[in-house]
Amino acid sequence: MASNPYTQAKFKPTGHRRPVHRPRDYEQREIDLEKFYVTELYFNRQGLTNVPDLSEYPNLEFLILHDNDIADIKGHLYGLVKLEFINLARNRLTEIRGCFDGVDNLRRLALYENQLVEIRGCFDGLDKLESIGLRKNPLSDDSKVYLQELKDKGVRIGYDK
């Protein structure tokens, strides 16, 4: 008896599974309410070489990162619109240009004892800035002129050699 081509299955299962759903960038992430209400984080003296992921702390106001080995903060503070105070004293920072973009409510900034040389323009756009601590940084003469310009605008500057 010849097999009927109309009764045979046209497609055979191959054993492949459907792909696992992975969230896309545009999809809402589940909010961790514990982190949502955090306004202060203390990471001082932790031996950190990088800034921890802060994207899940949208209401963060005070960030303490002093006495670590952090060399770069670029991009780690973006989106922290409520941040008012950052302490990055006694780290290994050499460059901070563009690091405070989008941190519009920043009022006080401690950058004591880093290796900052050139800071001209680094604090432009921070209209609410009240004070900057820069003691024991090998600032260039151009940076010192910039600090004087900020001081003339009412920003308190803590600086000595």
Residue 24 forms part of a structural domain: no
Residue 40 forms part of a structural domain: yes
DSSP secondary structure letter of residue 63: E
Residue 58 lies in domain: 33-161
Reported as a single tens digit per residue, the pLDDT across 106-132 is 999 999 999 999 999 999 999 999 999
pLDDT along the chain (161 residues), means of 10: 53 50 57 82 96 91 97 92 97 95 94 96 94 96 96 92 58
Q: How many domains does the chain fold into?
A: 1
User: Two tokens at 42?
Assistant: 């203390």
- Give which of 149, 62, 137 is closest to 106, Cα–Cα: 62
Residue 69 forms part of a structural domain: yes
Residue 17 forms part of a structural domain: no
Residue 128 forms part of a structural domain: yes
Residue 38 forms part of a structural domain: yes
CATH of the domain at 81: 3.80.10.10
Neighbours of 89 (CB within 10 A): 22
